[in-house]
Amino acid sequence: MRNVRPYDPNSTAAASAENANAPALFNQRVKKANTSALGKPGIHESAIKHVTGTAKYVDDIPELPGTLHMAAGGSAYAHANILAMDLDEVANSPGVVAVYTYEDVPGELDVAPVFDGDPLLAPGVTQFVGQPIFLVVAETYEQAQQALPLAKVEYEPLPANITLAEGLAGGEKVLPDNVITRGDADAAIASATHQLQGEGYIAGQEHFYLEGQISLAWPTEDGGMHIHTSSQHPTEVQKLVAEVLHIGSHLVTAEVRRMGGGFGGKESQAAVLACSAALAAYHLQRPVKYRLPRRADMERTGKRHDFGFEYRIGFDNEGVIAGIDLTLAGLCGCSADLSQGIVDRALFHADNGYYLNQARVTGLAPRNHIVSNTAFRGFGGPQGMLAIESIIDDVARAVGEDPLTVRKLNLYRPGADTTHYGQTIDQLVLAEIIGSLEQSADYWQRREAINGFNSSNTYLKKGLALTPVKFGISFTSTHLNQGSALVHVYTDGTILVTHGGTEMGQGLYTKIAQLVAAEFGVDSAHVQVSATRTDKIANGSPTAASAGTDLNGFAACNACQEIKGNLIEFAVRHFNVSAEQVVFANNQVSVGEQTISFAELCRVAYMNRVCLMAHGFYKTPKIYFDRATNQGHPFYYFANGAACAEVIIDCLTGEYKVERVDILHDVGRSINPALDIGQIEGGFIQGMGWLTSEDLLWDSQGRVISNSPANYKIPTAFDVPRHFHVGLYEGANPESTVFNSKAVGEPPLMLGIAVWAALRDACASVAEHKFNPRLDAPATPEKVLAAVNAALAFTEEGSSNA
């Protein structure tokens, strides 16, 4: 068994304290200890800036003289024809400089990321409440907002499908159905010892990034546009702005220094703001800033997809799966956006860590008249995983076993190690992770104690669950699995890195700096990672799919190795030594019997005309997928983990509290344990929020009514479990990734499923676990109370029948 690295707050705090006291002047900075060597905990590169308010976001950029502000008027109906639009009063409102409609777009109107269907401004038919139909540009933000209500728009309302059920009944789809099959699921289910069928509903989630959607467009002297954008995909912003303005991509630069959170919500949807601001800047030849108010942001941008699921399953007396027929339907909204990849990933992760045997998994993508839903941390994977975890719970109750026992019996194992889409699981570590956590969290002792507590308490019930995570790492669109980086080494020994990834708080820039520093054997204080810009890195992929470090880190290392090779080749000639005698370490370079500083070697190399800059490129190997057969190897590797959660519920009100959480998560060889633990903790809390308190709501007319912090509840510090233990499963990634690490952005979110499963376990205890009440996500107190009442009704019915 591999070692488990526990959460050590002292080491992280010590590193943080040392960095906090670091002098600002460069000649002092380079002398401080290297507190962020590979494999050691280190502070986030912008942490001090974050807490002191000096980190610059788009809205903090000083406005150039003449900067204008934008607002958008939205549709009042979910589905309607626009019969007439009178914008005269809007145009004449104080401070208003210009008003634009779709007719003012000089180039391409559609700004969809993959498939058509996302017009920048509605051209006559609206598809969701709040869909932009005109733009207002004014001298101030307030003046732009105040002009919006003055528009006079005449509509012809059309029938609208708001809910997933309405979308499925309507029959219109944004994408064709997708079916993944292995063997004969129907025959396997029919011949199994036991059969079950059921259904469930998994609601979506608002991104609730701290920095809202925003873009700032500056016209350039050569007829182009410079865009400061809060986007995870600057290359897509560049491409769409160029298409909207009908100019070449070489005239558009998109720049991202950092985002105040993204979570997938700024992968495709940020382009709408960038294109809108660029449109006005193009016409007026003045800078234009477009920032969405929080309420508009929540009403007009896509969210995590709701998913409904239905299943039939066959299994033996122990609960081992013989066959399954599972249908997953996503609430995609009015257009495809990124739904193909999201529904696909839900299908790919409908196994979680379990061998499904004979299987048919179907994905549906109906059209609804709500804003198009989009990427969100996990990208469909969490919904597929929650569906199978719910099913495993049902199977366990049917055979009278503890759910953990049934989970362990169904894990991938030798001889049963191939997914329903044809990929062999090369690293079978979930059994080891679960077994380790099962012991460290005292699962069985606590189960016995909880059973005793529940039998002696009528109105308070406890629940316990231990659930696994197996999450595939790679973009399911194979062409996106590429990264680029540009590395400059200066004659003073300092290093500047530009790469295609974007920083949204996850620590990507920090890890890139560590990797580059390690390549040259210098402290990370010598390395600066610059803003991501499309004029430095062309054709970049979005920072998504948890692949930011894998792709861009490897590309940066490849660039470093080219420069390092140049330096070694020069040193061999200049100092008359062998290549093996040139060693980079501790800010110095040993060349035979002598040692010189890294800066001195760079200076001498420059004087001898040695190239000290390089472009690095990386593409993920081994991955392929045939959509015609739905078989292949779409993921380079899998990140694994497990969480054990204990909850207590009030059977009279449905209120509950998460009392304890234990996590063991697989990050390969951790580049920076402090950052990885932070990602695990944050991902878990965000996943817990999705499945408990975050309740997305629309009214019958398609209006988002969970549109502010007053009526949409994300977790707070008070929701963090009092007993919260995070450990890192130590074991190098067997695949050749940077430092043999593993991605850590998305997988921890699914650890939150343990809380939902524990709540359902507590509800089932009301019926002594002989009945598993339905508990749709999010498990709000109202839904928990309904599940408790269903369990009580089952118990009372059983008593009356007896």
**Cis, peptide link before residue 41, omega less than 30° from 0:** no
- Residue 528, pLDDT > 90, answer yes
Going by C-alpha positions, the residue among 312, 763, 747, 252 that lies closest to residue 545 is 747
- Residue 10, pLDDT > 90, answer no
Tell me which H or E stretch contains 662. Answer: strand 656-666
Res. 341 pLDDT band, cuts 50 70 90: very high
Catalytic residue among 142, 746, 768, 797: 746
User: What residues contact residue 367 under an 8 Å CB cut-off, 6+ apart?
Assistant: 161, 167, 170, 172, 173, 174, 332, 333, 334, 335
Cα separation, 580 vs 746, whole angstroms: 40
Going by C-alpha positions, the residue among 665, 720, 664 that lies closest to residue 692 is 720
**Three-state secondary structure readout of 530-546:** CCEECCCCCCCCCCCCC
Going by C-alpha positions, the residue among 205, 316, 257, 229 that lies closest to residue 45 is 257
Report in angstroms the alpha-carbon separations of 556 from 258, 488, 739. 19, 11, 13
Cα separation, 258 vs 69, whole angstroms: 21
Cβ pair 329, 362 in contact under 8 A: no
What beta strand segments (E) does 380-508 contain? Answer: 460-473, 482-489, 495-499
User: How do 80-86 and 152-157 pair as beta strands?
Assistant: antiparallel
Amino acid at 449: A
Q: Using the 8-state DSSP alphabet, how is residue 664 labeled? A: E
pLDDT 10s digits, 320-330: 999 999 999 99
Cα separation, 366 vs 115, whole angstroms: 15
Burial 738-764 (b: 16+ CB within 10 A, else e): bbebbbbbbbbbbbbbbbbbbbbbbbb
- Residue 21, pLDDT > 90, answer no
Collapse the DSSP code of 639 into the 3-class scheme (helix H, G, I; strand E, B; otherwise coil) and give the result: strand
- Residue 2, pLDDT > 90, answer no
Going by C-alpha positions, the residue among 432, 383, 421 that lies closest to residue 665 is 432
> pLDDT above 70 covers what percent of the chain?
95
pLDDT given for residue 669 in this prediction: 97
Cα separation, 441 vs 725, whole angstroms: 9
pLDDT 10s digits, 438-469: 999 999 999 999 999 999 999 999 999 999 99
Going by C-alpha positions, the residue among 743, 618, 751 that lies closest to residue 668 is 743
pLDDT 10s digits, 689-735: 999 999 999 999 999 999 999 999 999 999 999 999 999 998 999 99
Task: For residue 315, list its beta bridge partners.
Answer: 194, 321
- Residue 27, pLDDT > 80, answer no
What Rg do the C-alpha atoms of the chain give, in angstroms?
Answer: 28
Cβ pair 278, 264 in contact under 8 A: no
pLDDT given for residue 801 in this prediction: 67
pLDDT 10s digits, 252-308: 999 999 999 999 999 999 999 999 999 999 999 999 999 999 999 999 999 999 999
pLDDT 10s digits, 570-589: 999 999 999 999 999 999 99
Q: Give the residue-averaged pLDDT of 493-504.
A: 98
Cβ pair 486, 498 in contact under 8 A: yes
pLDDT given for residue 37 in this prediction: 85
What beta strand segments (E) does 288-418 contain? Answer: 288-291, 307-315, 321-330, 358-364
Tokens 């004449």 label which residue? Answer: 92
Task: Clarify whether 211 is annotated catalytic.
Answer: no
Q: Using the 8-state DSSP alphabet, how is residue 635 labeled? A: -
Among 107-111, 400-404, 672-676, 796-800, the range scoring the smallest mean pLDDT is 796-800
pLDDT 10s digits, 612-635: 999 999 999 999 999 999 999 999
User: Mean pLDDT score of the chain, rounded to an integer?
Assistant: 95
Backbone angles phi, psi at 136, to 5 degrees: -115, 130
pLDDT 10s digits, 136-174: 999 999 999 999 999 999 999 999 999 999 999 999 999
pLDDT 10s digits, 771-789: 999 999 999 999 999 999 9
